[in-house]
Structure 1
Amino acid sequence: MGIFKIEGGIPLKGEITPQGAKNEALQILCAVLLTPEKVIINNIPDIIDINKLITLLGNLGVKIQKTGSGSYTFQADEVNLQYLETEAFKKEGGSLRGSIMIVGPLLARFGRGYIPKPGGDKIGRRRLDTHFEGFINLGAKFRYNREDHFYGVEATDGLTGADMLLDEASVTGTANIVMAAVLAKGRTTIYNAACEPYLQQLCKMLNAMGANITGVGSNLLTIEGVESLGGCEHRILPDMIEIGSWIGLAAMTRSEITIKNVSWENLGVIPNTFRKLGITLEKRGDDIYIPAHVDGYEVKTDIDGSILTIADAPWPGFTPDLLSIVLVVATQARGDVLIHQKMFESRLFFVDKLIDMGAKIMLCDPHRAVVMGHDFKSQLKATTMSSPDIRAGISLLIAALSAKGTSTIQNIEQIDRGYERIDERLRAIGAHIIRA
């Protein structure tokens, strides 16, 4: 198992370019299964979770050619469905949360799809009901082997369009149902659909392949089924979660950093949420410039003077993946912040590590924490810690970069699942970080 050794308390300076979006790539890569024609995808991040999915697609029989840095050609003209019944698939599919999204394309094109219970971050229960209820609405038969934790859906006579109201605005659930519905007979309407930019990107790609999806960007999608889809070329957006991570890093280390090519129009409330924490960030073309916060940053209270509350919500609300970053940044703010993580009941449990470093945090319950900022009057102390999941891992890394002394972070494979060559990119802007 690898570790990071980080010498903290050193201001950074320079430019950093965000990687391609992990959460978009997971959806887009699964969509190549919908056509036998070539699909070209650019700006794919070189991270563990994405590379696992590419390997899984290759084992399914997809022809894969790397054509450049982050650029691949995929052709699913000889898909091997027998692979779905192997022990190797149970192991590979079960190690990756995003593998659930191969089911929709396989069901649409081949009439059946199987998946073991997916893995991923241990941040609380992550239900799959929305996915399978959507497939059942389209006419698929569902079965679940409790002994092997293996899910299956079959539609031997094909899928038929249906009207459905999702029980939750699940991003991966919406993506999976959309990919199944594009080849179904007739019209499908999906109400309470997720409308994140990455879901919009998937719909745009599918339309470029010949699908007929309207309402993209809203929570009501209408899909007219088509006979078949063709190839296309698609470019993945920059990763908004990584962009938020760099904003938090700049503030906590009081560094002057420019984040390049961020696709401002797809950031939603992220910039303003960090501004509420008192962080100055400027729009310079399509870049974000963050000056060195030598005098710290002051939290804005609500209009009536109440404590600032930052909570996650479905898009266009604030993404839950950045609440861990906001929590860490708040530890050195001037003022107090209530963090309300509504979606996952275990995502705030990493705060004990920040408390060990000297942060003032009161964990109210599994979903809420009050952070009492130090205003840099008391620097966090270096320590040894372990990364429990991707987002907590990057938050602890940011804390270590701001702390006094040398910290050690174990289980860094969790960070590598979501962040590409992070140690190299941080060293390029002056960070003292070693991978051992």
Structure 2
Amino acid sequence: MLKATRRDWMSMTAGGLLGASMSRWMPLLAADTAAAAERKRSCILLWMPGGPSQMDTFDLKPEHKNGGEFSEIETSVPGIRISEHLPQLAKQMDECAIVRSMSTKEGDHGRATYLMRTGYLPQGPLRHPTLGSLFSKELAQTEADLPNFISVAPYRFLSPAAFGPGYLGPQFAPLVVGSAQPGQNDDDENSLQVENLKLSDAVNTAQAGARLQLLEEIENGFRAQRPGVAVNSHKAAYDQAVRMMQAGGAAAFDLTEESDETRDQYGRNRFGQGCLLARRLVERGVPFVEVSLSSAAGNAALGWDSHQNNFETVKDLSEVLDAAWATLMTDLKQRGLLDSTLIVWMGEFGRTPVINANAGRDHFPAAWSTVLAGGGIKGGQVHGKTGEDGMQVAENPVTTPDLLATICAALGIDPQKQNMSNVGRPVRIVDPEAKPIQEVLA
């Protein structure tokens, strides 16, 4: 079915990673993915601001004094155990690959957030794009009704620069749905709205069409006289907004179309409903969606930043995470979407194995965990290992570029592709020294 152009719609409205050896096969993988429509990839990033404790989620040490209060439970994969507070996710472990050997050097929230979300450290005037901008640019559908990058309830307080399109420009910025603020509880299930998708009561469809026609004529004249990135970005944003105003685009955000049972399974909170929204968006072809879990009912702290009362904080957040993430995977699988949808779970770093005097855990980038699941991933395994006390990586250390190169490979993106930066030099998607984790790739 042919899609109407912007002008057609207005008329209708008016009427009613890798080293050199790897670089040879990565472009082939990317081209193969792009050529096969049934293999088009999407990515859902579950972002955990504040830094979740690996010791209380995916790398417990129950036999050591650093282990803390939580017990570990068996999963659907014999030998893999995770937190007792993630029982639903434990049943999905055959689709997940736990990376227990992340090792980075940044223990500051701002710098670590920037590193994990862009692949690089801050470098003066150079403005690196966030992962959603980078990856959606490669996976984009040019005339889609919906934006190619949608960010659900982002918690940007820790590192605002890590959430923007950087040198790629405004046309690759996310559509932000809802927001999270310091001290705000994650208990508002109705906060995920896109404003101004409907016409004002004072404007009918004929008037709106006429105004858009006039705007296009004015823009064409201005653009002819003053061509440039800023002008083109402005037009791209308006074109996208007009497409979204069509019924097909706006309907994606209407969660009342889902049954009460489905909404209950995801969890009646901002993160749970955000994961439901992510499924609806991926189902409609959006290639990159991120959902942030920054607080839970009764916990208005700074996300997973559990310097105090670590176990109460992690328990509350884990219960929200477990229901939403497990239901998301089940839902995607039932709809035939899990094999083409990569799910990434991560924060900016982990937390100290040693429990502090306030029953908390502090910042710890030396040895921590991330999780990959779904499309492009060989699930049912653990990659890497930490020591008995959790203080260091014992096997297979993984850096940030290594992880991002792995994500690129799973999505069929060439991590060595270059984009021109705002300082006039090309920058690769991922640092060229990166080594993808071959063992977890399907």
TM-score (norm 1): 0.25
Q: TM-score if structure 2 supplies the norm length?
A: 0.24
Relative to its length, the structure with more helix (as a share) is 2
